[in-house]
Structures are given as structure tokens and as C-alpha cells.
């Protein structure tokens, strides 16, 4: 069984269980729906994922 790693959403404060995820993975907050990046698992740290910029074929 994976160890439970709980972190708060930096936007809405919802508790998110990070068990089964890896660092740098993008996840969605189950409460506010914001896309978050797992910056670190030990200690668990989440940040709002950067917006993807438009690719104009450059």
C-alpha cells in the first residue's frame, strides 16, 4: 500500500492525497479544478501549474 502524502491545494485549501503520483506530475484539484504541479513529494509541495503558451509554429 502506498504511503499517504497529503498536501493542501494552494488556491482553495482542499486536502489532496498525492499517493501514487510522482514529482513534476500535473494533477487536478478535486475541489476547485485547478491544474497543479507536484513540485516535491518529501515534503509534499503543490504549486499552480504554469499556463501553456501558444505555439505559433515557431
- Answer whether residue 34 is part of any domain: yes
pLDDT at 5: 85
Question: In this structure, is residue 15 part of a structural domain?
Answer: no
**How many domains is the chain built from?**
1
When pLDDT is cut at 50, 70 and 90, the band that residue 2 belongs to is low
| Core vs surface per residue 23-49: b (16+ CB within 10 A) or e | eeeebebeeeebebebeebeebebeee
Instruction: Please write the tens of the pLDDT for every residue from 14-27.
Output: 999 999 999 999 99
Q: Domain containing 38: what range?
A: 21-49
- pLDDT number for residue 1: 52
pLDDT tens, 34-49? 999 999 999 999 999 9
pLDDT of residue 58: 61
CATH assignment of the domain containing 40: 2.20.28.160
Amino acid at each position: 500500500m502506498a504511503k499517504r502524502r497529503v498536501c493542501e491545494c494552494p488556491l482553495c485549501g482542499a486536502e489532496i492525497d498525492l499517493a501514487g503520483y510522482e514529482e513534476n506530475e500535473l494533477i487536478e484539484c478535486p475541489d476547485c479544478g485547478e491544474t497543479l504541479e507536484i513540485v516535491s513529494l518529501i515534503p509534499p509541495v503543490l504549486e499552480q501549474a504554469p499556463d501553456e503558451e501558444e505555439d505559433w509554429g515557431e
